[in-house]
Structure 1
């Protein structure tokens, strides 16, 4: 029963074996999932992956929160559905146009098979119209008797249950893909790290060798006419994040700057900077998988603005994209400004240029603000993809949630693009840049 309104036989009229079988299956599935999570946690502990273990615990806490929300919906289903509001309020801010609601009520959009399930879904889209549907139980709508409409119907609350489940699935999937793509990016750095242990690298980067700053590889990349112009600087850095966001010269220079600031000079060959960055990414991952109250609030605003007439499909999916592009550009600007600081200290450098990073290079002097924005983008992207999958499952691709083909194309394309850009490009770059000040 999709409606969840109490239709059909009650447990008094249901065979006990049927109740027992349903409970057994649910308990068995829950135990298996819990055991799998326990095994993953045990394996992470055995591999000394404390940061990833803490991330796993945080994911479990977020799933428990979603489960608690679902439980509150179950307990509050009857009280919420009995709250009545005036028709004027009930007819505002609908995801469907009034014409489509009226068509759904009249049954003009019912397919040839006239399936009851599809009919009920169409009628749910038309909630708040002049014609009142009966509750799934077949009883009289109490609000209709008063000339009002339900605040949220019983069927609507049931559909929210399904959305919470879909959101939980997508939350787990985006966490896994984020870590996998970030580590995949760092695998390309392994050959660079191995190169630092060769005699050729030591000869090419002789610490006793004096060179002009602009003649170094790092200087040639970052010291040019465009670095003096703030507009050109941001334009060039914007495009750089798409092509070799972390080139070898930047990686090796940041590596040298970190070692020069925190370790002894003889540690250059022994220290594995890539493994250190990988552990740093795992530490940042603990923050990325969390869902803070401000991010929950922004997700609720997404639900609010997904209203007919606002053309949300033309701008909502692009907000995470704009944010992550700004963050990626800012990180590239920071690297370039580190090169400018080297040039300001002198025209000649000894050995590899030593970069120095300060909090003042970040927005509002807060490096962690960038991590918060990355966290926002990843969750908002997962939330929008979950919402798309839920509306597809509940109402079909031709529902009022997807009136336009462009809506479907934009949501899917943006979802995949943002996930790859954020996890594969921006997050590893953030982990690399911020280590210079740690």
Structure 2
């Protein structure tokens, strides 16, 4: 590159063993990753998990998109760094206060933080070295600066790498937590299958309010809308799916969809349904990419937009969980209103009208948006930590940032372990009863 630092060696002055060694390591890592994904795909194929195969293909496609973005940044870095803007425009909407590197005006704020000071010094030296290497591409007339420096583009490369790695990690965590929750229903499935004849005995008459399902969901609080939703809000944290809920949902599905006396593993079916839902939430749509760009755009120093945006996934997932609990409670209330006496297990009757805008898939889209935003925010935090230090200007209010991370982890757990399995259970009963 023209204008390079005289002390920096180019490839024509670099030992061939060094170049080949670095290339070999990169190739081995890439082939190893591809081999792992291939074996995972073969394992899904042997177990006939079509939905998981499609989810894996989506992850591969998204990794390819991220790799292509990184390739474009590498190929076009000289062109991007050669775009000049005025210093006034360059100093607007900054995520951190303006730092005058040559005068060191920003240094005193870090005097009591030796580690952070040393980190910033290393970043400054690295930036000077890269900027000198790209001096020809980034040469701007007086009063103008590059749109993004070479060092800034390098940091974007690191951010894309973080996105790729964390996307795979979050996807795995989401699926593992969901399957772990549904695995806990296996004992209920075995009990229901073993006692199916006695549970559905047509000579077994009971008052509706004496059944476990209706009794657990109807009380004085169902008469008041505020208390109704407040109770549903509480239940999603501590009683998301009870034994009576599962058995009643199972009975509703089996009674409508299968012949009497049929042997059916409803828990295994819900597990496959979860995999179908996971296939949807693992993707990254243009809408989600747009939300990520907006997330970066509003990260302006003094706006505190990052804190409020980090609260959105939690608010949305709590609202979704409350709605799902409200649907289950509405089933119980309707059973009590329709019948005074029931035979065997109460038969739930529900349709998509119980959902917002009569659109069950809207709930899944909201879960998808929540998982993506939450994962993006946590990825952004760890990238800032890696690039600028834990107590950098990005984390001026350090306690607030720690709160964001705790909320993000809690949201991930709540969404993956409680809300997504609950959605898989409720919607299967809703969709098939509606189609019937």
TM-score normalised by L of structure 1: 0.91
Which of 147, 150, 163 lines up with 1:154 in the alignment?
Answer: 150
Q: Judging changes above 3 Å, is the alpha-carbon distance between structure 1 residues 82 and 266 closer, same or farther for their aligned structure 2 residues? A: same
Equivalent residue, structure 1, for 2:212: 217
Equivalent residue, structure 1, for 2:390: 397
SS of the counterpart of 1:211? strand
Question: Which segments of 5 or more consecutive residues in structure 2 lack a partner in the other structure?
Answer: none
Q: Judging changes above 3 Å, is the alpha-carbon distance between structure 1 residues 142 and 180 closer, same or farther for their aligned structure 2 residues? A: closer
Which of 375, 388, 391 lines up with 1:382 in the alignment?
Answer: 375
Equivalent residue, structure 2, for 1:207: 202
Q: Judging changes above 3 Å, is the alpha-carbon distance between structure 1 residues 229 and 123 closer, same or farther for their aligned structure 2 residues? A: farther
Equivalent residue, structure 1, for 2:120: 118
Equivalent residue, structure 2, for 1:239: 234
Equivalent residue, structure 2, for 1:297: 290
Listed one character per residue, the Cα deviations across residues 2-50 of structure 1 (whole Å, up to 9, x for unaligned) are xxx9652222222222222211211111111111111111111111111
Matched, 1:189 2:196: no
Which of 159, 172, 194 lines up with 1:198 in the alignment?
Answer: 194
TM-score normalised by L of structure 2: 0.91
Matched, 1:345 2:338: yes
Cα separation, 1, equivalents of 2:23 and 2:410: 41
Equivalent residue, structure 1, for 2:26: 26
Q: Judging changes above 3 Å, is the alpha-carbon distance between structure 1 residues 113 and 378 closer, same or farther for their aligned structure 2 residues? A: closer
Equivalent pair of 1:246/1:429 in contact (CA under 8 Å)? yes
Listed one character per residue, the Cα deviations across residues 48-77 of structure 1 (whole Å, up to 9, x for unaligned) are 111111111111111111111111111111
Matched, 1:430 2:426: no
Q: Judging changes above 3 Å, is the alpha-carbon distance between structure 1 residues 103 and 350 closer, same or farther for their aligned structure 2 residues? A: farther
Matches within 5 A, 1:8-87: 8-87=8-87
Equivalent pair of 1:105/1:122 in contact (CA under 8 Å)? no
Cα separation, 1, equivalents of 2:240 and 2:99: 49
Listed one character per residue, the Cα deviations across residues 382-419 of structure 1 (whole Å, up to 9, x for unaligned) are 11111111100000011111111223311220121011
Runs of 4+ in 1 over 4 A off after TM superposition: 99-107, 110-117, 140-144
SS of the counterpart of 1:85? strand
Shift in Å, 1:85 = 1.1
Worse-matched range after superposition: 401-410 or 169-178: 401-410
Cα separation, 2, equivalents of 1:396 and 1:114: 6
Q: Judging changes above 3 Å, is the alpha-carbon distance between structure 1 residues 136 and 428 closer, same or farther for their aligned structure 2 residues? A: farther
Cα separation, 1, equivalents of 2:117 and 2:48: 55
SS of the counterpart of 1:316? helix
Question: Which segments of 5 or more consecutive residues in structure 1 lack a partner in the other structure?
Answer: none
Cα separation, 2, equivalents of 1:274 and 1:63: 32
Worse-matched range after superposition: 424-433 or 356-365: 356-365
Shift in Å, 1:116 = 8.1
Cα separation, 2, equivalents of 1:144 and 1:247: 66
Which of 192, 204, 228 lines up with 2:223 in the alignment?
Answer: 228
Q: Judging changes above 3 Å, is the alpha-carbon distance between structure 1 residues 355 and 102 closer, same or farther for their aligned structure 2 residues? A: farther
Q: Judging changes above 3 Å, is the alpha-carbon distance between structure 1 residues 122 and 323 closer, same or farther for their aligned structure 2 residues? A: farther
Equivalent residue, structure 2, for 1:413: 406
Shift in Å, 1:162 = 0.2
Matches within 5 A, 1:311-390: 311-390=304-383
CA RMSD of superposed structures (Å): 2.5
Equivalent residue, structure 2, for 1:93: 93
Equivalent pair of 1:256/1:352 in contact (CA under 8 Å)? yes
Worse-matched range after superposition: 140-149 or 240-249: 140-149
Cα separation, 1, equivalents of 2:70 and 2:137: 24
Equivalent residue, structure 2, for 1:173: 169
Q: Number of residues paired by the alignment?
A: 425
Shift in Å, 1:190 = 0.8
Equivalent residue, structure 2, for 1:251: 246
Equivalent pair of 1:317/1:410 in contact (CA under 8 Å)? no
Equivalent residue, structure 2, for 1:145: 141
Equivalent pair of 2:391/2:398 in contact (CA under 8 Å)? no
Shift in Å, 1:150 = 1.4
Shift in Å, 1:367 = 0.7
Cα separation, 1, equivalents of 2:301 and 2:393: 8
Equivalent pair of 1:135/1:141 in contact (CA under 8 Å)? no
